[in-house]
Amino acid sequence: MTAHVKPKALENFKARDFRMLIDGTWTEGAGQPIERIAPGHGIVVSRYPAGSKADAERAIAAARKAFDDGPWPSMTGAERSNILLKAADLIAARADELAFLDCIESGKPISQAKGELGGAVDIWRYAAALARDLHGESYNTLGDGTLGVVLREAIGVVSIITPWNFPFLIVSQKLPFALAAGCTTVVKPSELTSGSTLVLGEILIEAGVPAGVINIVTGTGPEVGAPMTTHPDVDMVSFTGSTGVGRLTMANAAQTLKKVSLELGGKNPQIVFPDADLDAFIDAAVFGAYFNAGECCNAGSRLILHTSIAADVTARIADLAKKVKVGDPLDPTTQVGAIITPQHLAKIGAYVDGAAKAGALVALGGAALDLGLGQFMAPTILSGVRPDMAVAREEVFGPVLSVLTFETTEEAIRIANAIDYGLSAGVWSRDFDTCLTIGRKVRAGTIWMNTFMDGASELPFGGYRQSGLGRELGRHAVEDYTETKTLNMHIGARTGWWMPR
Ligand code: NAD
C-alpha cells in the first residue's frame, strides 16, 4: 500500500467545465453545476451541468425528430458503419484523455482505465461491422402464392442510462449498437462520472453523427433519468445500474410498454474443486475480488471452496492479496484505486461489521485505509461465511471476498444458485465432467471455466433472474435495438374470403 499526497500530475490541474449536448448544441444547465470530487485525490476535478426534466424532454424531442425526419435511419448500413469506424479511430486517438477522466472521476487505476479504452475501441469497431450485416429473413416455403419477408427496423428513440463503475466501457456496450441499427439516442451518464461520455459526444459529432441522433444530458437519476424512462416518445430504455433502480426503470417503462434492456447487479460465485490448478485459481480469486476495488457487477465476490482445500487456499489468497498495490489511481503501478464516495465506503464497512457480528471471521483487512487523500478500503477476506448471511447474498460492491465451503457438487450448485442474482460464475477443476455439470446447472449469463472475468466483443453478456434482462455484445447486439416487421406478400390472383379455396 502506498500513502500519497496530491500527485504531480494534478499540481497545476484545473477542474474541467463540461457542457451537455442537446440537438447538436452544447448547452449549460440552468442551475448550479454538479461538482465531482475525485475519490482518490479529494479535489474537484469536473463540473457538469445539472440537467433538468425540461432538458431531458428537449433531448427526447430532438432524438424523436432526428429519427422521424432525419437521415440517420435511412442511411445505408455502410454509411453508418463508416461513421462508427471513424468514431473508433477518434476514440483511440483521444484514449489517454478519456482514460485520465475515467481514472480521476471514478478512482480506478490509470493502467486499468487505459485497458478499458482499448476494449471500448474494439467494441465500436465490432458494432461498425455489424451495422453492415443487419438483415431479416425471407420465407420462400409458403406456397406459390405467398412470399414472406421479415424486416429488421430500427426501434426508434433509445434512452441509455449508465452507472459510474465503467463510465466509458458501459456506454460503449450500448451506444454503437443502437447507432448501428439506425436508432437515435438520449444518453444519461452517472452524475459521478460524466466526463468521458461528454467527450464521446464531441467525438461522435466530429465523426459525422448528425445533430439530434446523439444527445447527452447530465444530471441526477430522478431529475433526468426518470423522464427518459416514462416519456411516450421514447421507444426503448437500455439501463445499466443497480437492481433497485433497474426494477423502477422497468415499472416506469411499463406505463407505455417500452422495450427494456437491463444490466444489473451480481453476486458471482467461483466454485473450486480440489483437482483444480490452484495457483491459477488463487491469482484469479484475487483479481476477481479486487479488480476495480470490487466495484464491479462481475466481481467474484463469493468463493465456494471444497472443504478439503478451504483453509489452505484461503491462507494463500490472503498472502497474495497482501501484495496487491492499493493507492493513487494516477500511479501507473497501482492495482486497486479509490472507493467512489465516502458514503459508499461506509456502506462497505457496514457489510463487513454485519458479517463479523453474524459470525464470519475477518481473515484479512476489514477497514478503510488512510492514504492521505480520498477514500480507500483494504482488500478484505471474510471466512466462515454461511449462505444465509447478507454478505453472501447481497452485492457489497467493494473489495470484500466471502469464503463459503461445500462437500458435494450438488451442494456447490445449490449454494451458487441460492441467491436472487445470476450474472456470472466460475468453476475450477481439471475434470471435464465437473466443469460441464457446473456450467450447465449454475443459473448465470456467463460461466467461466478455469478462468475468470474474461470477455470479448463477440460474446454475449448479461444476467439471469435479478441480474437483468437481455444481452449486450455478441452478434445479436444490434438486433436488440430493432423491431421485427413482417411483409406478407401475395403473388397472382387472390381468392376472396367468401369463395371456396
Ligand atoms: P444506480 O442504479 O444507482 O445508477 C445507475 C444510473 O441510473 C445512474 O446514471 C443514475 O443517475 C441513474 N438513476 C438513478 N435513479 C434513477 C431513476 N429514478 N430513474 C432513472 N435513472 C436513475 O447504479 P450505480 O451505483 O451507478 O452503479 C452500480 C450498480 O450498477 C451496481 O449494482 C452494479 O452491479 C451495476 N452494474 C451492472 C453491470 C452489468 O453489466 N450487469 C455493469 C456495471 C454496473
Give the per-residue SS3 of 255-322: CCCCEEEEECCCCCEEEECCCCCHHHHHHHHHHHHHHHHHCCCCCCCEEEEEHHHHHHHHHHHHHHHH
Q: List the beta bridge partners of residue 159.
A: 186, 237
Is 295 a residue of the active site? Answer: no
> What are 214's three cell numbers?
446523439
Q: Calculate mean pLDDT across residues 249-276.
A: 98
What pLDDT score was predicted for residue 481?
98
Ligand 1, closest atom to CA 188?
Answer: 9
Each residue of 184-219: pLDDT tens digit? 999 999 999 999 999 999 999 999 999 999 999 999
Q: Calculate mean pLDDT across residues 324-334.
A: 97
CB distance 305 to 313 below 8 Å:
yes
User: pLDDT grade, residue 1 (50/70/90)?
Assistant: low
User: pLDDT grade, residue 363 (50/70/90)?
Assistant: very high
354, exposed or middle or buried, with CB in 10 Å at 0-12, 13-18, 19+?
Answer: middle
User: pLDDT grade, residue 417 (50/70/90)?
Assistant: very high
Place of cell 423502477: 248
What's the mean pLDDT when you consider all of the chain? 96
CA distances from 484 to 63, 136, 256 (A): 21, 8, 19
Q: How many Å from the N-terminal Cα to the C-terminal Cα in the chain?
A: 83
Q: Calculate mean pLDDT across residues 165-169.
A: 98
Domains of the chain listed by start with CATH number? 8-264+467-485 (3.40.605.10), 269-449 (3.40.309.10)
| Cα angle: 298, vertex 481, 216; to 5 degrees | 75
CA distances from 226 to 167, 220, 237, 470 (A): 19, 9, 11, 21
Distance CA 431, CA 448 (A): 14
Comparing 497 with 364, the larger pLDDT belongs to 364
| Residue nearest ligand 1's atom 16 by CA | 221
What pLDDT score was predicted for residue 154?
98
CB-based burial, 173-201: b 16+ in 10 Å, e otherwise:
bbbbbbbbbbbbbbbbbbbbbbbbbbbbb
Q: Which of 242, 250, 301, 339 to mutate to test the pocket of ligand 1 (most atoms within 8 A of CB)?
A: 242
CB distance 193 to 40 below 8 Å:
no
What pLDDT score was predicted for residue 4?
56
Kindly tell me if the per-residue pLDDT of 84 is higher than 80. yes
Q: Which of 245, 347, 393, 461 to mutate to test the pocket of ligand 1 (most atoms within 8 A of CB)?
A: 245
Place of cell 488463487: 282
Kindly tell me if the per-residue pLDDT of 501 is higher than 70. no
Each residue of 20-74: pLDDT tens digit? 999 999 999 888 999 999 999 999 999 999 999 999 999 999 999 999 998 999 9
What pLDDT score was predicted for residue 497?
75
Kindly tell me if the per-residue pLDDT of 5 is higher than 60. no
Which letter does DSSP use for residue 224 in this model?
I
Ligand 1 lining (C-beta closer than 6 Å): 161-166, 170, 188, 190-191, 220-222, 225-226, 229, 240-242, 245, 248-249, 263-266, 297, 395, 397, 423, 463, 468
Residue 165 CA, ligand 1 centroid: distance in Å: 9
What pLDDT score was predicted for residue 402?
98
Distance CA 226, CA 228 (A): 5
Distance CA 239, CA 262 (A): 5
